[in-house]
Structure 1
Amino acid sequence: MKILLPILVLLTGAVGAYAIVANRPTLDIQPSKAEPPLVSVVQAEPRSVRLNVRSQGVVMPRDEIDWVAEVAGKVVRLNPDFVAGGFFEAGEELVGLDPRDYDQAIVAAEAGLAEAKRRLAQEQAEAEQARSEWQALGEGEPSPLILHEPQLAEARAKLKAAEAELAKARLKRSRCELRAPFAGRVSAKHVGLGQYVQSGEKLARVYATDVAEVRLPVSTDQLAYLDLDLMRRNGARAGPKVVLTADLGGAEQHWEGHIVRSEAEVDDATGLLHLVAEVREPYGRKYAQPLLAGLFVKAEIEGRERSGVFVLPLGAVNASQESLVVDADLHLHVRRLTVLRTEADRVLIGAGLAAGENVVTGGVQVPVEGMTVRLEAEGSKPEAGSKVLSSGF
């Protein structure tokens, strides 16, 4: 009996377990149906776009010279503004030299002129007397020597030389007052009060303030965006408008100018051509801050206007110049585009799209040609410039 009881319990459990398994309910398993991916799009619309060109450079004066003394002498006067950074007007005296030696030279030249005049008058009188005597006593035509013609020619030549000597002495005297050749600014000063300077010695480095220039390097590809008739012989005098920008005085400042010329040749080392922008009156009151020489500036050159351009966010075009386009049946397609150029936050497309087409800007991780997608509601599109296609397709 003790042996049968455990066996009976095991049999009862086995029968119960079988009954449970045999009578369990069946599950109706349905395969899951994945929804198409939700994508954001922008509608392609052609428009007119001005293809400006960006560059950068350093401001330089158009005219800058080493200002030198034209005569020798001791410096006896200095203009208070004749210092590094000082401004001056055209014709303003900046340096004065001791003129006494030159005053004495003028006196000597005046004496020489008086002597030459006296000598000419004497020769004229002697020539007149000789002619009268010949007419009274001689026969035939008198020789030039008898009429004192060579003596008269010599006296007249010496008079001209004396006049030139006086003019030269006065010119040297005037050069003791060293006056500015133009309105400008002192870059560097090389002379001091009491110093003796020689003719041709450098007094200062000065530059004109009426015009500033900036050399702007551009690639040969960028030249296609610019109207540069001035590069031709006898072309236009003024080229495209330029806006220069720099941080100055605690704020972003702007100055306006024009491209006035290009340099003679493309740099064979870099492949760049330098355009020269000109800004007139860089120190004028029309600007909040002056355009200082030596200032680093960014430049935006006005380019040609082109119509029929599609503007897409930066992330809507991959490195292979392809975009994803959704057709009317909500099918996805890879489209090859013609990219005009890529900017900081947008891509300009010249061909490859039609007006009204939906271009994907985000939502597709692994794009497959012909796959079905859903479109996000309008107004939920990402902003231009955001990197929205994470796969880079």
Structure 2
Amino acid sequence: MAQESSTLANIARGLVALLILACGVAGMAAMVVYGTKEPPLVEPEPLRPPLVEVALVEPQEERLDIEVDGVVVPRREITVAAEVGGRVIGKSDVCRAGKFVRQGTLLIEIDPRDYDIEKRRLEEELKQAEATLEELHVEETNTQELVKLAEDALVLKRREIARLEKIAEQGKDYVTESQLDAERSNELVARNALVTLQNQLRSIQSRRGRLNAARDLVRANLEKAALSLERTRITAPIDGMIVRDFVEVDGYVAPGTMLAIIEDVSKSEVRCNLRMDQLYWIWNQGRNNETAPSVSGTGQDYLLPPTESTIVYKLGEQEYLWSGTLARYDGIGLDETTRTVPCIVVVDKPNEVRQQGESSASPARGPRALVRGMYVKVVAHAQLDTRLLRVPERAVQPGERGNRVWAVRPDTSGSASPNEGLLDEIAVKVISVTDEDALVRVIEGNLAPGDHVVVSPMVSADEGMRVRVVVQSENAR
């Protein structure tokens, strides 16, 4: 019985092995049969042109804004110095650093007593000189009268001698030689008296010249003394701010001692540096600028055409604006370190400030005036006579021959989709970059406002290559 059960188990295992083997053979047969069939043919999709993002080319207005950094400097500083020496007896409260003064305001007073005494002494000397001249005038008048009398007496003596000589010629004994000699002697006395008086008159006239010169010298010294007395009161020569003061009451000052420094605040200046490529546009617009200064000869070649400018000072998130004029060079030539040209912007009204977005000056919650030391931005508004275009900065690509942009032209072949076009390479020169836009001038090619230029990066690009176009949104720009 046990032997019979063992036999049945062996038969079962054999059947299972045969079944597994049969399934393996059937699988191999199926793979051989069905594996030799060819896969179905799938046609490849056609290559599509690369997708690029484009933006519109915009025209630039008739002016070009040139932005540079600058610093505010005083237009002029006046050094107030003592012109006479002495002890300081008074100092005005406004003669302090940081105070504003009006022209003519008394600042410092020097002890005037010595100069007042000198003035009064010279006034008395002048009176004495004028009195001496008056006495001389009287003496001259009297002498002139005596000269006239002496001349008349001499005439009478000569007539008497002539009458006696005529009688003697008639041979009569009425006139003797002794009488004639006596009359001739009297005539000599009268002549001598006349000559003496004439000499006195000439001496008086000579003395008059000397006394006039002495009086004029006293008068000049008196004017100098009066001027010195006046200079003991030092006043402000201009309207301005006291930058520094150097003396106090009871201090001694000598002629030339520095008393204070006053800064002229009626106008301000901004010192900035322009690159030569920026100056090109200033010079170019100056050719047609009616406000350019008229200077004969070669002097015009060394002047900067006046250019309207805006001064911008940023405080926090707010910007404050002043109107100015790019007026002149600060010296001549280029700065050796930066290779830029120093220039000066003149602000005629430094206290007229307006906030960004306002058209006229108004009280600002910020700086009320443009003062020295402010670091500002200068925007010079150059008038253009050359057409410029505004494109996104991303559209400008470097090339072997300089900068370039890729314009997308319509495909007129008729086989292109509506959103496809052909690339056109345009050589440009970048004039300036502001925010995310670049101002360019076309060097070679044709580019006009309203054209589309590529702003997205491209792996490769060739002239005439077909591309698909998607227009950049205004917000993205």
In the alignment, is residue 347 of structure 1 matched against residue 438 of structure 2? Answer: yes
Could you tell me which residue of structure 2 aligns to residue 390 of structure 1?
Answer: none
**Aligned pair partner of 1:358 in 441, 452, 462:** 452
Could you tell me which residue of structure 2 aligns to residue 387 of structure 1?
Answer: none
Could you tell me which residue of structure 1 aligns to residue 263 of structure 2?
Answer: 207
**Aligned pair partner of 1:281 in 336, 342, 349:** 349
Aligned-pair CA distance for 1:257: 1.1
Could you tell me which residue of structure 1 aligns to residue 295 of structure 2?
Answer: 233
Counterpart residue identity of residue 87, structure 2: K
**Aligned pair partner of 1:323 in 405, 418, 429:** 405
| More deviation, 206-215/274-283 | 274-283
Aligned residues: 383
Question: Per residue, is there more helix in 1 or in 2?
Answer: 2
Please say if residues 82 and 257 of structure 2, whose CA atoms lie closer than 8 Å, have aligned partners that are also in contact: yes
Q: TM-score when scaled to structure 2?
A: 0.72
Cα pair distance change 1:47/1:343, threshold 3 Å? closer
1:253-293: CA deviation from partner (whole Å, max 9, x where unpaired): 11101122223421251332222211123235856420012
Cα pair distance change 1:307/1:165, threshold 3 Å? closer
Please say if residues 342 and 348 of structure 1, whose CA atoms lie closer than 8 Å, have aligned partners that are also in contact: yes
**Aligned pair partner of 2:329 in 247, 258, 262:** 262
Secondary structure in 1 matching 2:371: coil
- Separation in structure 2 between the aligned mates of residue 111 and residue 128 of structure 1, nearest angstrom: 26
**Aligned pair partner of 1:163 in 212, 219, 225:** 219
Aligned-pair CA distance for 1:132: 2.4
Alignment of 1:286-325 (within 5 A): 286=361, 288=364, 289-306=368-385, 308-320=387-399, 321-325=403-407
| More deviation, 188-197/12-21 | 12-21
Counterpart residue identity of residue 375, structure 1: V
Please say if residues 272 and 344 of structure 2, whose CA atoms lie closer than 8 Å, have aligned partners that are also in contact: yes
In the alignment, is residue 13 of structure 1 matched against residue 24 of structure 2? Answer: yes
Aligned-pair CA distance for 1:147: 4.5
1:48-106: CA deviation from partner (whole Å, max 9, x where unpaired): 44222222222122221221001111111111111111110111111111111111111
- Separation in structure 2 between the aligned mates of residue 245 and residue 139 of structure 1, nearest angstrom: 92
Secondary structure in 2 matching 1:101: helix
Counterpart residue identity of residue 13, structure 1: G
Cα pair distance change 1:232/1:136, threshold 3 Å? closer
Aligned-pair CA distance for 1:122: 1.6
Counterpart residue identity of residue 384, structure 2: E
- Separation in structure 2 between the aligned mates of residue 123 and residue 184 of structure 1, nearest angstrom: 55
Aligned-pair CA distance for 1:380: 3.6
Could you tell me which residue of structure 1 aligns to residue 476 of structure 2?
Answer: 383
| More deviation, 298-307/311-320 | 298-307
In the alignment, is residue 37 of structure 1 matched against residue 37 of structure 2? Answer: no
| More deviation, 300-309/205-214 | 300-309
Aligned-pair CA distance for 1:195: 0.8
- Separation in structure 1 between the aligned mates of residue 246 and residue 325 of structure 2, nearest angstrom: 35
| More deviation, 292-301/48-57 | 48-57
| More deviation, 142-151/270-279 | 142-151
Aligned-pair CA distance for 1:200: 0.7
Please say if residues 74 and 98 of structure 1, whose CA atoms lie closer than 8 Å, have aligned partners that are also in contact: yes
Structure 2 segments unaligned to the other structure (5+ residues): 1-9, 151-192, 354-360, 412-419
| More deviation, 223-232/261-270 | 223-232
Aligned-pair CA distance for 1:325: 2.5
| More deviation, 70-79/36-45 | 36-45
Aligned-pair CA distance for 1:371: 3.9
- Separation in structure 2 between the aligned mates of residue 34 and residue 170 of structure 1, nearest angstrom: 103
1:273-327: CA deviation from partner (whole Å, max 9, x where unpaired): 2222111232358564200122121100111224543211000111331222323
**Aligned pair partner of 2:67 in 54, 57, 60:** 54
Counterpart residue identity of residue 149, structure 1: Q
Aligned-pair CA distance for 1:46: 4.4
- Separation in structure 2 between the aligned mates of residue 283 and residue 354 of structure 1, nearest angstrom: 45
Could you tell me which residue of structure 2 aligns to residue 128 of structure 1?
Answer: 141
Aligned-pair CA distance for 1:22: 2.0
Structure 1 segments unaligned to the other structure (5+ residues): 385-393
- Separation in structure 2 between the aligned mates of residue 183 and residue 169 of structure 1, nearest angstrom: 28
Could you tell me which residue of structure 2 aligns to residue 389 of structure 1?
Answer: none
Counterpart residue identity of residue 25, structure 2: A
Please say if residues 407 and 426 of structure 2, whose CA atoms lie closer than 8 Å, have aligned partners that are also in contact: no
Counterpart residue identity of residue 359, structure 1: V
1:305-355: CA deviation from partner (whole Å, max 9, x where unpaired): 245432110001113312223232235435142224131322223223333
- Separation in structure 2 between the aligned mates of residue 250 and residue 179 of structure 1, nearest angstrom: 42
Compare CA radii of gyration and give the structure with the larger one. 2
Secondary structure in 2 matching 1:51: strand
| More deviation, 34-43/253-262 | 34-43
In the alignment, is residue 116 of structure 1 matched against residue 129 of structure 2? Answer: yes
| More deviation, 132-141/155-164 | 132-141
Please say if residues 406 and 426 of structure 2, whose CA atoms lie closer than 8 Å, have aligned partners that are also in contact: no
Secondary structure in 2 matching 1:343: strand
Counterpart residue identity of residue 346, structure 2: E
- Separation in structure 2 between the aligned mates of residue 61 and residue 48 of structure 1, nearest angstrom: 34
Counterpart residue identity of residue 104, structure 1: I
Secondary structure in 1 matching 2:476: coil
Q: TM-score when scaled to structure 1?
A: 0.86
| More deviation, 35-44/117-126 | 35-44
- Separation in structure 1 between the aligned mates of residue 322 and residue 79 of structure 2, nearest angstrom: 28
Alignment of 1:86-165 (within 5 A): 86-137=99-150, 138-139=193-194, 142-143=198-199, 146-165=202-221
1:162-185: CA deviation from partner (whole Å, max 9, x where unpaired): 222221111111111101111111
Identity of aligned residues (%): 26
Aligned-pair CA distance for 1:238: 7.3
